[in-house]
């Protein structure tokens, strides 16, 4: 569904948006790391913000689908975790002889600890290429991308859309989470991957060199986020971007105009899966853990919340939502551990009921109200907006 | 009473004399086991002693066990009365200052009395214990082993028959055969037949073996499988094809029977799993299928029903206290302190309570949130997800994050066994109740004025409003009905799964899948797809021996199924384009 144009007039003014992006870029890639290097910003906070930026990538992938194409995918957490798992496999193999079993002399071949625990004596064949970082990095794109391609092909070919698409992606995520929870899937089962030591030869845990590695990962996440934002911005301006938004607003009309909407949707679905996967891959070394809890349908829905709160159909909205809600979570789970879920749920209700455009629509609303000329063409709620779903 | 001490031993001595002369049991009237033991004690000859003991095999008197134990533990003595009569006695524990113990007569189990009728206490050291050697002990053990065979308690008897049968000792055969002639219980008769056949398997004669195998084949009881299998291996190695062939036939019969039991058992479990799914999904078929609202809080309506059952149970019992979070309002529910059948009835009371409480919560949800979102189904998904989070946390804060315990009423916790297939009562009950609920929903939707209004509003809300239907009210009632059905499902789930704050999440994905597969808007489709998914899930579990893999396969199958029929099994056809 479209964000009403009037509300976006403020955000739409490219200058402001570009200024915001530029300020953010400088802040995140230069100022924060420099402050951190001089001890003015704690390592903990850099690490925390690094994770937020990865979540922002996940949020953008949701927004690409939901905000711009009208596909509410509840499977983005799956792609996020798949990306994370792919890089996690590389990180697990990097531990090598530093694992606790190897230190105790019970693991002469340097298998990941959980495999020794489960009684494996050799590395499963599909794990072997993950000794190479390049291969793992390639797989971060290939595995989620391929899954999205196959699933999307099946789903869009039979014209599954609207809530059915949501429910199917949710089922896919649920099934995959069940699979990863199993021990004999050799992906760490319940506990997933953890206890990482090195990435590309840089230590993640050493007290003297670890923070520098984390800073590097932080900068990488920030740069990647801006690359993705710029890419999406460029995509919006192309004809492809316009068709995509037309699909959101009236798929049948686009279809009858001679566009193969399924191909457009499939392309966006795969791109979004890859973006989520990259976010996941950067998330894992910073969080230090990846387990199947990250791929439950609930996590997908949470990502949708970030986008809804920030403002869908915009580029800065998802970023604001992801960072804002996760910062709120960090604070609230410590200050009000009992009420955090209630706060989150209430936030959700409020945004859906009263602020369908999200936080980014607030300035527009305020200026409209300030100028005192409520336009008839600018309905306050999007109920009047053309609804592509069933009525 | 006074004559007894004299007469009994005399009688025994006469008996003894006759027995010694004739060498057979020369008693016209049936002798009590106790008298037999006395006779054994007073017999001098070891071989005869063993024979007399052996004659007790198959008796069911518990006194035999006690007396034999006492005998082996050197607690049996022979007391010589002042008149020279020998009376076997059992000394009980508990010595007094003089080292004397209470003496119990072996022949009648009563206290030993002196001439004037006073209980006599004896000192063990001054007497010699009744002797026993290894062979005698063995004979006693055989008798004790067979003791339960004559037990009046059926379960004890069955166990004894099985133990003796699997012991495969040829010497027990006559006892079993004697028992099978007097046994009246049908099940015990079957077991006896099996035990006899099992013992006959060790018979040296092949013809007897083959006959026994044929009997085992007809009984096709899976417990004898291993024994037959061993016999077959032995017969094959000894090159006795006739026996091996009969064993193979018996094994095949058992396999067939096992497969049959497994097949019908799977169908039963599948139908019952499908029924749970059906009850859970039926509410969703109304809110999602008919109304088009994606209610992610549907799972929490199930939880409301389950906690309503929990509260009802406590009110029928000892009452409960809990504090509502945030407003800190302490609720004290006094208990009715019922016991027995009255308490067991709590589950019956919980059924309407669960329905009404979930329906109330549903109506509240509809009035406060969902009515603003009828035109925005995707956003109803998000908003109700928020509601779901809030409700889960509320349950956690009110009832604790641990699972709570809901008792199973006695009338739901037993089971039937028909042809070796176990039918749990609670599962049978769920199937029956699911059928009733489906019937009820169908009646409400098709035969009542409310149903008519529901159907017309769901088909075309605007047109119904134009015709003067109060659509707001119908929406509210419909949503209440759907939520109430979820509450009913919650009442059932207490009998089959755990009750906790997040229990609703277990069912939400499955129930959405059920509705989508069945065809949105079709109650009948939901019934078919719930039963289908339940059956597929259970059979895959049986085939793969792995519940999770089965579930994943079911999900994959559903995704592929929707390729074939994107709108589900039974979809409402319409020319309208969204």
Least reliable range by pLDDT among A292-306, A368-382, B26-40: A368-382
Which residues lie below 8 Å from residue A130, measured CB to CB, with a gap of 6+? A86, A89, A90, A92, A93, A136, A139
pLDDT at B15 over 50: no
Residue with tokens 């923070």: A211
Residue A65 · residue A242 · CB < 8 Å: no
Which tokens hold the place of A177? 């989470």
Alpha-carbon distance B147 to B232, whole Å?
32
Beta carbons within 8 Å of A31's beta carbon, 6+ residues apart: none
Chain A residues inside the 8 Å CB shell of B505: 298
Q: Which residue of A has its CA nearest to B512?
A: A167
Neighbouring-strand partners of residue B104: B90, B111
Tell which residue, A299, A304, A316, A298, has the closest CA to residue A351.
A304
Taking the CA of residue A320 and the nearest CA in chain B, the distance in Å comes to 18
pLDDT score recorded for residue A321:
92
Instruction: Tell the residue number behind the tokens 């791109």, with chain if given.
Output: A271
Q: What is the mean pLDDT of residues B197-211?
A: 71
pLDDT, tens digit, for every residue of B176-191? Answer: 676 777 767 777 777 7
Chain A CA closest to residue B567: A160
Q: Phi first, then psi: what are they for B335, rounded to 5°?
A: -90, 155
Q: Which of A275-289, B124-138, B142-156, B332-346 has the highest mean pLDDT?
A: A275-289
Question: What pLDDT is attached to residue A382?
Answer: 43
Contact flag B372-A353 (C-beta cutoff 8 Å): yes
Contact A338 B393 (CB under 8 A): yes
Identity of the residue in B292, B386, B516 whose CB atom sits nearest the CB atom of A349: B386
CB contacts of B556 in chain A (<8 Å) are 175
Q: Which secondary-structure segment (H or E) carries A217?
A: helix A210-237
Q: What is the mean pLDDT of chain A?
A: 83
Taking residues B148-175, report their average pLDDT: 70
Q: Which two tokens stand for residue A144?
A: 């989620």
pLDDT tens-digit readout, B51-86: 777 777 666 666 777 777 777 777 777 777 777 777
What is the rounded distance in angstroms from the CA atom of residue A13 to the CA atom of residue A23?
16
On chain A, the residues whose CB falls within 8 A of the CB of B397 are: 338
- pLDDT at position B361, please? 94
Cβ-Cβ pairs closer than 8 A, A with B, add up to 132
Q: Of B382, B383, B559, which is closest to A168 when you measure between CB atoms?
A: B559
Q: Is pLDDT at B229 greater than 70 in this prediction?
A: yes
Report the b/e string of B249-260 with b at 16+ CB within 10 A.
Answer: bbbebbeebeee
DSSP state of B245: H
E strand map for chain A? 193-194, 198-199, 202-203, 289-290
By CA distance, what is A384's nearest residue in B? B375
pLDDT of residue B89: 78
Question: How far, in Å, CA of A62 to CA of A49, rounded?
Answer: 20
Instruction: Give the up-direction half-sphere exposure of residue B305: CA atoms within 13 A in the CB hemisphere.
Output: 34
With a pLDDT cut of 90, the percent of chain B lying above it is 8
Instruction: Give the one of A168, A346, A352 whose C-beta lies nearest to B379's C-beta.
Output: A352
Q: Is the pLDDT of residue A144 over 90?
A: yes
**Residue whose C-alpha is closest to residue B4's, from B117, B123, B120:** B117
pLDDT above 50 (res A254): yes
Shortest Cα–Cα distance, A240 to chain B (Å): 23
By the CB < 8 Å criterion, does A338 face chain B?
yes
pLDDT at residue A6 greater than cutoff 60:
no
Token look-up 């200026």 returns A367
Instruction: Could you list the beta-strand ranges (E) of A176-326.
Output: 193-194, 198-199, 202-203, 289-290
User: Taking a contact as any Cβ pair under 8 Å apart, which residues of chain A between 132 and 161 contact chain B?
Assistant: 151, 154, 157-160
The predicted pLDDT at position A114 comes to 81
Chain mean pLDDT for chain B: 78
Note the pLDDT of residue A77.
Answer: 93
Residues A217-239, mean pLDDT to the nearest whole number: 90
- B156 has a pLDDT exceeding 60: yes
pLDDT of residue B246: 74
Q: State whether B378 and A389 contact (CB < 8 Å).
A: yes
pLDDT for residue B460 is more than 90: no
**pLDDT tens digits, residue range A308-355?**
888 888 888 899 999 999 999 888 888 888 888 888 888 888 888 888
Band of residue A271 on the pLDDT scale cut at 50, 70, 90:
very high
A61 has pLDDT over 90: yes
pLDDT at position B576 is 61
Residues near A367 by beta carbon (within 8 Å), at least 6 away in sequence: A10
Q: What is the 8-class DSSP label of residue B89?
A: E
Looking at the complex, does the CB of residue A223 fall below 8 Å from at least one CB of chain B? Answer: no
Strand pairing class (A289-290; A202-203): unpaired
Identify the burial level of A90 via C-beta atoms within 10 angstroms of its C-beta, where 0-12 means exposed, 13-18 middle and 19 or more buried: buried
Assign 3-class secondary structure to B125-168: HHCCECCCCHHHHHHHHHHHHCHHHHCCCHHHHHHHHHHHHHHC
Residue A180, phi then psi, degrees to nearest 5: -70, -20
Q: How far apart are the first and last CA of chain A?
A: 13
Q: Do B386 and A301 touch (CB under 8 A)?
A: no
Q: DSSP state, B392?
A: H
Give the model's pLDDT for residue B575. Answer: 62
Is the whole model's pTM more than 0.90, yes or no?
no
Classify residue A275 as exposed, middle or buried by CB count within 10 Å of its CB (0-12, 13-18, 19+).
Answer: buried
CA distance to partner chain A, nearest, from residue B539 (Å)? 18
- Find the CB nearest B556 among A170, A175, A308: A175
Q: Which pair of tokens denotes residue A42?
A: 């704690």
| Residue in the block written with tokens 């019969």 | B253
Per CB-CB distance under 8 Å, the chain A contacts of B392 are 341
In sequence order, the 6+-apart residues with CB closer than 8 A to the CB of B182 are none
- What average pLDDT does this structure show over A22-40? 79
Which tokens belong to B5?
Answer: 């001490």
Q: In angstroms, what separates the C-alpha of B217 from chain A's closest C-alpha?
A: 40
Residue of A nearest to B551 (CA): A175
pLDDT value at residue A374? 53
Kind plus residue range of the DSSP H or E element containing B432: helix B425-447
B445 to chain A, closest Cα gap in Å: 22
* B323 has pLDDT over 70: yes
Which chain B residue's Cα is nearest to A163?
Answer: B378
Nearest CA-CA distance, residue A133 and chain B, Å = 31
* pLDDT tens digits, one per residue of B376-422: 777 888 888 889 989 998 898 888 888 888 888 877 777 777 666 67
| DSSP assignment letter at B286 | I
Backbone φ and ψ for B120, nearest 5 degrees, come out as: -100, 130
A374: how many CB neighbours lie within 10 A of its CB? 12
As a dihedral over the C-alpha atoms of residue A53, residue A56, residue A57, residue A62, rounded to 10 degrees, the angle is 170
Is B279:B531 a contact under the CB 8 Å cutoff? no
User: Which of A 270-299 lie inside 8 A of B, CB atoms?
Assistant: 297-298
Q: Which of A172, A252, A349 sits opposite B383 (nearest CB)?
A: A349
Where is pLDDT greater, at B468 or A375?
B468
Q: Does A167 touch chain B (CB under 8 A)?
A: yes
Interface test with B, best of A166, A345, A354 (most B CBs within 10 A): A345
Asked if the Cβ–Cβ distance from B369 to A344 is below 8 Å, we say: no
Is the pLDDT confidence value at A375 over 60? no
Least confident of A176-185, B355-364, B470-479, B568-577: B568-577
| Count of helix runs (H) and strand runs (E) in chain A | 16, 4
Is the CB of A383 less than 8 angstroms away from the CB of B376? yes
- A26-35, A348-357, B15-24: which range is least confident on average? B15-24
Angstrom distance (rounded) from CA B179 to CA B40: 24
- The pLDDT assigned to A381 comes to 45
Residue among A167, A252, A352 whose CB faces B383 most closely: A352
Average pLDDT on B339-360 reads 88
Q: Which residue of A has its CA nearest to B394?
A: A342
8 A C-beta contact, residue B195 and residue B223: no
Phi and psi at residue B415, to the nearest 5°: -150, 165
Q: Which pLDDT score, from 0 to 100, does residue A14 have?
A: 61
Q: Which of the listed ranges A38-47, A95-104, B476-485 does the model predict with the highest average pLDDT? A: B476-485
Residue with the bigger pLDDT between B529 and A121: it is B529
How far does the CA of residue B446 sit from the closest CA of chain A (Å)?
A: 23
Asked if the Cβ–Cβ distance from A342 to B556 is below 8 Å, we say no
- The single-letter DSSP state of residue B448 is S
Distance from CA of A356 to the nearest CA of B (A): 9
Q: Is the confidence at residue B268, as pLDDT, over 70?
A: yes
A347 interaction partners in chain B (CB closer than 8 Å) = 386
User: How far, rounded to the nearest angstrom, does the alpha carbon of residue A34 sit from its chain's CA centroid?
Assistant: 26
Chain B residues lying within 8 Å of A174, measured CB to CB = 509, 555
The answer, for A356 touching chain B at a CB cutoff of 8 Å, is yes
């Amino acid at each position: 569904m479209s964000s009403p144009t009037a509300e976006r007039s403020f955000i739409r003014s490219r200058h402001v948006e570009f200024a915001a992006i530029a300020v953010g870029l400088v802040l995140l890639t230069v100022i924060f790391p420099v402050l951190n290097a001089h001890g003015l910003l704690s390592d903990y906070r850099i690490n925390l913000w690094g994770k937020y930026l990865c979540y922002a990538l996940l949020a953008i992938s949701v927004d690409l689908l939901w905000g711009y194409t009208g596909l509410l995918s509840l499977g983005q957490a799956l792609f996020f975790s798949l990306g994370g798992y792919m890089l996690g496999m590389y990180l697990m193999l990097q531990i090598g002889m530093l694992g606790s079993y190897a230190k105790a002399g019970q693991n002469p071949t340097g298998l990941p600890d959980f495999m020794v625990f489960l009684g494996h004596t050799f590395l499963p064949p599909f794990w072997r290429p993950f000794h190479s970082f390049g291969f793992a990095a390639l797989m971060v794109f290939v595995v989620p991308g391929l899954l999205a391609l196959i699933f999307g092909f099946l789903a869009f070919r039979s014209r599954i859309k609207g809530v059915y698409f949501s429910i199917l992606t949710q089922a896919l995520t649920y099934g995959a989470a069940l699979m990863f929870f199993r021990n004999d899937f050799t992906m760490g089962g319940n506990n997933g991957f953890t206890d990482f030591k090195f990435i590309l030869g840089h230590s993640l845990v050493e007290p003297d060199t670890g923070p520098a590695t984390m800073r590097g990962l932080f900068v990488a996440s920030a740069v990647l986020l801006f690359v993705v934002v710029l890419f999406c911005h460029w995509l919006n301006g192309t004809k492809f971007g316009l068709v995509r938004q037309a699909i959101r607003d009236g798929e049948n009309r686009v279809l009858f105009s001679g566009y193969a909407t399924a191909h457009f949707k499939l392309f966006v679905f795969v791109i979004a899966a890859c973006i989520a996967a990259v976010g996941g891959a950067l998330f894992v070394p910073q969080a230090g853990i990846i387990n199947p809890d990250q791929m439950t349908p609930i996590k997908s829905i949470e990502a949708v919340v970030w986008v809804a709160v920030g403002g869908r159909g915009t580029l800065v909205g998802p970023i604001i939502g992801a960072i804002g809600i996760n910062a709120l979570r960090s604070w609230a789970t410590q200050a009000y551990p009992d009420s955090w879920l209630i706060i989150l749920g209430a936030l959700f209700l409020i945004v859906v009921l009263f602020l369908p455009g999200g936080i980014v629509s607030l300035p527009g609303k305020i200026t409209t109200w300030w100028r005192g000329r409520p336009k008839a063409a600018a309905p306050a709620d999007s109920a009047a907006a053309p609804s592509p779903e069933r009525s | 009473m006074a004559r007894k001490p004299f007469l009994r031993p005399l009688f025994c001595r006469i008996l003894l004399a006759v027995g010694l002369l004739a060498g057979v049991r020369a008693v016209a009237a049936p002798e009590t086991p106790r008298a037999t033991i006395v006779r054994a004690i007073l017999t001098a000859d070891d071989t005869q002693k063993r024979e007399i003991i052996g004659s007790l095999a198959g008796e069911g008197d518990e006194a035999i066990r006690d007396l034999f134990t006492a005998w082996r533990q050197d607690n049996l003595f022979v007391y010589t009365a002042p008149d020279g009569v020998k009376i076997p006695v059992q000394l009980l524990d508990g010595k007094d200052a003089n080292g004397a113990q209470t003496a119990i007569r072996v022949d009648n189990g009563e206290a030993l009395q002196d001439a004037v009728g006073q209980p006599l206490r004896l000192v063990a050291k001054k007497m010699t214990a009744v002797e026993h050697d290894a062979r005698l002990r063995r004979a006693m053990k055989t008798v004790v082993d067979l003791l339960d065979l004559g037990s009046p308690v059926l379960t004890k008897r069955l166990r004894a028959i099985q133990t003796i049968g699997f012991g495969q000792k040829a010497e027990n055969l006559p006892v079993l055969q004697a028992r099978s002639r007097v046994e009246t219980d049908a099940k015990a008769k079957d077991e006896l037949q099996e035990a006899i056949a099992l013992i006959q398997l060790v018979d040296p004669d092949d013809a007897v073996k083959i006959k026994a195998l044929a009997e085992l084949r007809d009984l096709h009881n899976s417990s004898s499988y291993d024994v037959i299998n061993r016999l077959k291996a032995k017969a094959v190695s000894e090159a006795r094809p006739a026996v091996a062939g009969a064993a193979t036939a018996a094994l095949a019969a058992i396999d067939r029977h096992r497969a049959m039991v497994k097949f019908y058992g799977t169908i039963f479990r599948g139908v019952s799993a499908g029924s749970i799914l059906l009850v859970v999904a039926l509410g969703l078929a109304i809110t999602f299928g008919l109304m088009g609202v994606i209610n992610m809080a549907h799972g929490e309506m199930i939880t409301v029903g389950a906690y309503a059952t929990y509260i009802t149970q406590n009110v029928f019992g000892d009452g409960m206290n809990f504090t509502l979070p945030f407003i800190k309002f302490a609720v004290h529910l006094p208990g009715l302190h019922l016991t027995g059948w009255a308490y067991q009835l709590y589950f019956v009371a919980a059924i309407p309570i669960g329905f009404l409480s979930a329906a109330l919560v549903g109506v509240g949800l509809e009035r406060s949130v969902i009515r603003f979102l009828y035109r925005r189904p995707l956003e109803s998904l998000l908003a109700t997800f928020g509601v779901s989070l809030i409700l889960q946390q509320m349950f956690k804060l009110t009832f604790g994050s641990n699972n709570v315990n809901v008792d199973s009423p006695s009338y739901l916790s037993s089971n039937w066994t028909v042809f070796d297939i176990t039918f749990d009562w609670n599962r049978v009950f769920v199937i029956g109740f699911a059928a009733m609920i489906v019937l009820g929903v169908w009646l409400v939707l098709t035969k009542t004025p409310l149903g008519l209004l529901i159907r017309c509003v769901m088909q075309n809300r605007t047109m119904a409003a134009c015709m003067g239907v109060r659509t707001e009210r119908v929406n509210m009632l419909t949503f209440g009905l759907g939520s109430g059905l979820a509450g009913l499902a919650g009442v059932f789930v207490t009998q089959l799964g755990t009750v906790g704050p997040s229990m609703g999440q277990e069912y939400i994905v499955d129930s959405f899948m059920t509705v989508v597969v069945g065809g949105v808007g079709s109650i009948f489709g939901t019934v078919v797809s719930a039963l289908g998914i339940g059956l597929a899930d259970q059979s895959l579990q049986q085939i793969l021996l792995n519940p999770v893999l089965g579930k994943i396969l079911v999900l994959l199958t559903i995704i592929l199924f929707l390729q074939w029929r994107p709108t589900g099994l039974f979809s409402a056809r319409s020319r309208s384009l969204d």
